[in-house]
């Protein structure tokens, strides 16, 4: 930047250069945030039409919704504008209205035919933009004459088009298109009122303002603005890649078999579609080479009946590829509700077996039975009042009184005999062994359908949180962690309910050294040679709030936060774990595999890489009984793997020409840790990471690391500071990677303190230990 400025001064073209700089600033750097906020602040309202791009995202077959946004007052201290909003979604039967009033959100459903309110409830919780030159990956020209702005909101990247008058026109993301219209006439706006739930006690809805939104950056300095102008004028085009409009399968396709649950009274042959039960799921199954739907009698036959189990096995063996005798071959098995128990029971009873090529997708499985079926039986038997008798009569008309055999066999595990309890436990064990993915609902009303009110009534009657037949609490408790199968793409270990969300946990911070000297730790073979204490570090636990980055992955940047989560990365589990689940030694082909893998991950993250060297690889296991000397335990102390001084010492390891480019400033050097699980889900001792922007230098101090062969290194430790913001990535999968920055030759860029931590929720999953591989990489790049 200074060199360019000097040339301009010498050539005597300062005025021209400033004119060009001003043009570049206005057209390519200035995001017009103040003008946009002012325009929004002074309009009575904004009308937005939303259109989903993907057919799979349609709600009840409808792809559009309309919203009115009401700006409320002026921007707050951090430049963000507060607003209220009303969003309406219509289908053939129901109008669903989402209302945001004074930072609290409500959802109301009403009947289109009668206008009657069906349901009112609270809606649980769900700005900085950069200028773009182009948007790729979409045939539609998003912005003809305006300016393109990229903005991350709620973990989703959007591209906005602003007109020359600084008004927003359109916006798009991978999943949504929005058309934005400013409404100048207040009479054209709908009424904005807090929904009434029909009772004397108003809804006490939570404030839906997420504390996990990264802090708003301060305004750029003069020099930072000058640098942005220079980069915009001379650098490459700033592009945004829009995702494809349809989902693709990233694995080999397999035949798919869909098995329904309770309540189907008509048996029949397998069919290609079953819309009355499954809707149009066959149109949104890109990994299916074919789709077949069973039609079993699940009213008069229960899930433990041998005939029904035999029918299931016959269908699975027929549809799967490469089946042998009674072993099901390659197949994606999708089971819903009681169909989960049927599949588990059939395998448990020996009717058939699942090979490792079966990918089992388990939907809403009542693996401990259902309290709703107990409710039906009790209502059928009740005669305490005219209401009980009338209700029993209604159930009788529907064929549910007396309770059919399938309903009797689905009564809750705690209310049945020892023999039936054993069958439940056996079916649960089969799903733990063979299940790949589990999905469950969390709300009895659902998305608004003819049975929504009935489902809500059932929940209110038996006082448990459920999704009609399936008790949500039981979904969680019945699904202990699954053990892996050998399917490369969808290797299991998924829980019925995603283990995530904000946590309050204790992390270990440096307190002092036990001998008053420089803190040190001893590693590797040096531990055996040392006669003194392995460490003099004394730590103190402090409870911190851990925010969950799950769902917000795209909001993170390696050079802003000091770490970045990466998804859809090839798994190393198949190549690094033996048949007993033990980690292979890091030698020979295994080491070469990891080296090539990490090299590809880093170059994909930093495309401008010119030199890359992997100088350390290691594996870790949280199993306290693990005897492998080559595996380390998770580190429970907050640290950064290098100090600024020790990191800078690595620069001499580059060839002379690279060192010259580093010294001249053409190349930048970063030392990264690339961390990847080897188990399908990390529940035990996951990682916690500090947002580098919030970590003050005063909280960090140097320590000595005593390594093999007498080598001495250094790492940074951290003392407690309550202002630091902490993150973790919940239920991290073996196809996901965390990249953590330990050193950066660009002084203004931060480093990330990190640690493993004990997640108290893992006590419900005994014996599920963390296994992971990590590599430390030094990278020289132009950016």
Average pLDDT over residues 729-751: 89
Q: How far apart are CA 373 and CA 403, in angstroms?
A: 8
Residue 54, pLDDT > 50, answer: yes
Tokens read off for 248: 């693709």
Classify 28 as helix, strand or coil.
helix
DSSP 279-307: TTGGGG-TTEEEEEEEE---SSS-TT-HH
* Nearest of 491, 494, 630, 492 to residue 574 by alpha carbon: 491
Domain with residues 535-781, CATH architecture: Sandwich (2.60)
pLDDT at 495: 35
pLDDT at 129 > cutoff 80: no
Residue 79: count of CB within 10 angstroms of its CB = 15
Which of 246, 242, 244 is closest to 136 using CA atoms? 242
Q: Is 9's pLDDT higher than 70? A: no
pLDDT at 366 over 60: yes
Decide which of 470 and 17 is more confident.
470
Query: How many Å is the maximal CA-CA distance in the chain?
Result: 101
Q: Which residues on adjacent β-strands are paired with residue 457? A: none
Q: What is the CA radius of gyration of the chain?
A: 30
Nearest to 104 by CA among 82, 117, 119, 123: 123
The mean pLDDT value of the chain amounts to 75
Per-residue pLDDT, 24: 40
pLDDT of 389 reads 57
Whether the CB-CB separation of 606 and 781 falls below 8 Å is answered with yes
Return the SS3 of 52.
strand
Lowest mean pLDDT among 81-85, 380-384, 421-425: 380-384
Say what the pLDDT of residue 458 is: 53
DSSP code at position 652: G
Q: Would you say residue 185 has pLDDT above 70?
A: yes
CA dist 737 and 278 (Å) reads 35
The pLDDT tens digits for 436-450 are 788 876 665 555 555
The span from the CA of 576 to the CA of 585, in Å, is: 8
How far is residue 671's CA from residue 558's CA, in Å, rounded to a whole number? 12
- Closest C-alpha among 171, 144, 174, 141 to residue 156: 174
Instruction: Give 190-234 pLDDT, tens digit per residue.
Output: 777 777 666 656 666 766 544 444 444 444 544 444 444 445 444
* Residue 109 near residue 118, CB atoms below 8 Å: yes
What's the number of CA atoms in the CB half-sphere (13 Å) around residue 324?
Answer: 3
In this predicted model, which residue has the larger pLDDT, 686 or 130? 686
CA distance 404 to 399: 8
User: CB–CB of 432/411 below 8 Å?
Assistant: no
**Ranges assigned E (strand) in 528-608:** 537-548, 563-566
Structure confidence at residue 238 (pLDDT) = 43
33: its two tokens: 């945030």
Distance CA 681, CA 674 (A): 17
Q: Which of the two residues, 126 and 645, has the higher pLDDT score? A: 645
Percent of the chain with pLDDT over 70: 64
State how far the Cα of 524 lies from the Cα of 423, in Å rounded to an integer.
49
pTM of the model: 0.45
Greatest mean pLDDT among 13-17, 525-529, 594-598 lies in: 594-598
Would you state the pLDDT for residue 613? 93
Q: Note the pLDDT of residue 213.
A: 40
- Across 145-300, the runs of DSSP E, i.e. the strands, are 147-153, 156-162, 168-172, 176-183, 239-241, 254-259, 268-271, 288-295
Architecture of domain 254-478: 3-Layer(aba) Sandwich (3.40)
Q: What band does 778 get if pLDDT is binned at 50, 70 and 90?
A: very high
Strand partners, 327: 324, 353
Q: Is the pLDDT of residue 617 over 80?
A: yes
At residue 561 the predicted structure's pLDDT band, cuts being 50, 70 and 90, is: very high
Taking domain 36-213, whether its CATH number is 1.20.1050 is answered by: no
Task: Return all residues near 216 (Cβ < 8 A) that are at least 6 apart.
Answer: 78, 79, 80, 127, 128
Instruction: With CA atoms as reference, report the closest residue to 100 among 123, 134, 76.
Output: 123
* pLDDT at 77 (0 to 100): 44
Eight-class DSSP state of 26: I
> Quick one: pLDDT at residue 243?
52
* Residue found by looking up tokens 């090299």 in the block: 599
- In this predicted structure, what is the pLDDT of residue 442? 60
Residue 680 CB coordination number (10 Å): 24
| pLDDT for position 752 | 95
What residue has token string 């021209």?
A: 16
Rounded distance, CA 690 to CA 695, Å? 7
Those residues whose C-beta lies under 8 Å from the C-beta of residue 59, and which sit 6 or more positions away, are: 89, 91, 447
Q: Are 519 and 774 in contact (CB under 8 A)?
A: no
Q: What's the sign of the alpha-carbon dihedral 283, 288, 293, 298?
A: negative
**pLDDT exceeds 50 at position 167:** yes
Name the least confident of 80-94, 382-396, 595-609.
382-396
**What's residue 438's pLDDT?**
82
List the chain domain ranges: 36-213, 254-478, 535-781
- Rounded to whole angstroms, the Cα distance separating 566 from 550 reads 11
CB contact at 8 A, 750 and 690: no
The two tokens of residue 175 are 């999943």
Mean pLDDT value across residues 260-272: 92
pLDDT band at 781 (very low <50, low <70, confident <90, very high): very high
- Specify the higher pLDDT residue, 483 or 564: 564
Q: For the chain, give the number of residues.
A: 783
Q: Which residues contact 229 (CB under 8 A, 6 or more apart)?
A: 21, 24, 25, 28, 29
Alpha-carbon dihedral angle through residues 158, 159, 164, 168, given to the nearest 10 degrees:
-30
User: How far, CA to CA in Å, does 514 sit from each of 508, 635, 703?
Assistant: 16, 19, 13
Cis peptide before 510 (omega within 30 of 0): no
Distance CA(699)–CA(684), nearest Å, equals 27
Most confident of the following: 21-30, 260-269, 498-507: 260-269
Place of tokens 């950066």: 744
Mean of pLDDT values over 152-177? 68
- Sign of the alpha-carbon dihedral angle for 33, 37, 43, 44: positive
| Angstrom distance (rounded) from CA 727 to CA 210 | 14
Q: What is the pLDDT, as a whole number, of residue 347? A: 96
What pLDDT is recorded for position 227? Answer: 47
Residue 384 banded pLDDT, cuts 50, 70, 90: low
Residue 306's pLDDT is 96
Q: What φ, ψ does residue 192 adopt, rounded to 5°? A: -110, 105
Whole-angstrom distance, CA of residue 682 vs CA of residue 773: 12
8 A C-beta contact, residue 149 and residue 130? yes
Instruction: Report which secondary-structure segment, H or E, holds 64.
Output: strand 64-71
**pLDDT one-digit tens code per residue, 410-435:** 998 888 899 999 999 999 999 988 88
- Condensed to tens digits (0 to 9), the pLDDT of residues 481-496 reads 333 333 332 233 333 3
More confident residue, 85 or 15: 85
- Cβ atoms of 741 and 670 within 8 Å: the answer is yes
Residue 732 tokens read as 């991290």
Pick 48 or 678 by higher pLDDT: 678
* Range in 8-17, 34-43, 577-586, 728-737 the model is least confident about: 8-17
* Token pair listed for 403: 């309770």
DSSP 411: B
């Amino acid at each position: 930047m200074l060199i360019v400025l000097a040339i301009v001064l010498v050539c005597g073209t300062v005025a021209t250069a400033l004119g060009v700089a001003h043009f570049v600033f206005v057209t390519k750097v200035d995001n017009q945030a103040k003008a946009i906020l002012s325009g929004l602040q002074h309009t009575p309202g904004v009308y937005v039409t939303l259109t989903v791009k993907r057919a799979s995202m349609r709600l009840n077959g409808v792809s559009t919704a309309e919203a009115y946004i009401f700006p409320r007052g002026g921007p707050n201290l951090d430049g963000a504008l507060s607003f209220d909003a009303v969003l309406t979604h219509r289908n053939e039967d129901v109008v669903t209205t989402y209302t945001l009033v004074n930072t609290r959100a409500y959802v109301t459903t009403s009947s289109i035919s009668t206008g009657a309110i069906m349901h009112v409830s609270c809606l649980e919780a769900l700005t900085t933009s950069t200028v773009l030159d182009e948007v790729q990956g979409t045939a539609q020209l998003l912005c003809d004459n305006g300016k393109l702005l990229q903005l991350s909101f709620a973990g989703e990247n959007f591209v906005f088009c602003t007109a020359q008058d600084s008004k927003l026109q359109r916006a798009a993301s991978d999943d949504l298109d929005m058309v934005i219209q400013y409404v100048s006439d207040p009479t054209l706006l709908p009424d904005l009122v807090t929904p009434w739930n029909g009772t004397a006690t108003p809804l006490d809805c939570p404030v839906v303002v997420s504390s996990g939104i990264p802090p708003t950056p301060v305004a750029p300095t003069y020099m930072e603005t000058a640098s942005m102008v220079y980069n915009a004028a001379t650098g490459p085009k700033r592009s945004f890649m829009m995702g494809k409009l349809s989902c693709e399968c990233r694995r080999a396709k397999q035949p798919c078999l869909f098995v329904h649950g309770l309540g189907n009274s008509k048996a029949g042959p397998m069919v290609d579609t079953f819309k009355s039960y499954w809707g149009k799921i066959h149109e949104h199954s890109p990994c299916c080479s074919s789709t077949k739907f069973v039609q079993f009698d699940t009213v008069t036959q229960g899930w433990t009946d041998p005939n029904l189990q035999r029918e299931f096995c016959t269908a699975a063996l027929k549809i799967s590829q490469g089946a042998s005798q009674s072993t099901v071959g390659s197949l994606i098995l999708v089971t819903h509700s009681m169909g989960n128990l049927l599949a588990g029971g059939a395998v448990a009873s020996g009717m058939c077996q699942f090979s490792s090529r079966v990918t089992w997708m388990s939907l809403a499985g009542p693996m401990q039975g259902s309290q709703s079926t107990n409710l039906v039986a009790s209502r059928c038997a009740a005669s305490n009042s005219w209401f009980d008798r009338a209700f029993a009569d209604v159930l009788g008309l529907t064929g549910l009184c007396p309770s059919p055999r399938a309903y009797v066999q689905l009564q809750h595990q705690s209310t049945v005999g020892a023999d039936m309890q054993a069958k439940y436990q056996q079916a649960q064990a089969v799903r733990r062994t063979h299940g790949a993915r589990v999905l469950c609902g969390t709300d009895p009303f659902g998305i608004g359908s003819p049975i929504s009110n009935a489902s809500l009534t059932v929940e209110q009657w038996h006082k448990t949180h459920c999704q009609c037949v399936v008790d949500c609490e039981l979904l969680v408790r019945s699904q202990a962690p699954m053990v892996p199968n050998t399917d490369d793409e969808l290797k299991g270990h998924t829980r019925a309910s995603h283990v995530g969300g904000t946590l309050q946990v204790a992390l270990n911070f440096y307190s002092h050294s036990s001998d008053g000297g420089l803190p040190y730790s001893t590693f590797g073979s040096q531990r055996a040679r040392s006669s003194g204490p392995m460490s003099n570090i004394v730590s103190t636990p402090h409870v911190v709030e851990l925010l969950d980055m799950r769902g917000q992955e795209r909001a993170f940047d390696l050079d802003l936060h000091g770490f970045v989560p990466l998804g859809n990365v090839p798994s190393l589990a198949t190549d690094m774990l033996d048949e007993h689940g033990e980690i292979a030694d890091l030698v020979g082909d295994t080491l070469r595999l990891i080296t090539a893998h990490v090299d590809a991950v880093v170059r994909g993250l930093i495309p401008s890489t010119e030199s890359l060297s992997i100088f350390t690889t290691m594996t870790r296991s949280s199993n306290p009984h693990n005897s492998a000397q080559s595996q380390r335990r998770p580190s429970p102390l907050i640290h950064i793997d290098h100090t600024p001084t020790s990191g800078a010492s690595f620069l001499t390891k580059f060839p002379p020409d690279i060192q010259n480019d580093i010294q001249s400033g053409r190349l930048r050097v970063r030392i990264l840790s690339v961390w990847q699980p080897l188990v399908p889900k990390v529940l035990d001792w996951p990682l916690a990471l500090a947002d580098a922007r919030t970590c003050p230098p005063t909280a960090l101090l140097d320590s000595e690391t005593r390594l093999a062969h007498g080598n001495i290194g250094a790492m940074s430790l951290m003392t407690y500071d309550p202002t630091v913001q902490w993150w973790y990535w919940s239920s991290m999968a073996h196809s996901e990677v965390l990249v953590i920055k330990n050193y950066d030759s660009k002084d203004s860029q931060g480093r990330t303190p990190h640690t493993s931590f004990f997640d108290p929720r893992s006590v419900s999953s005994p014996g599920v230990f963390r296994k992971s591989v990590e590599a430390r990489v030094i990278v020289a790049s132009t950016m």
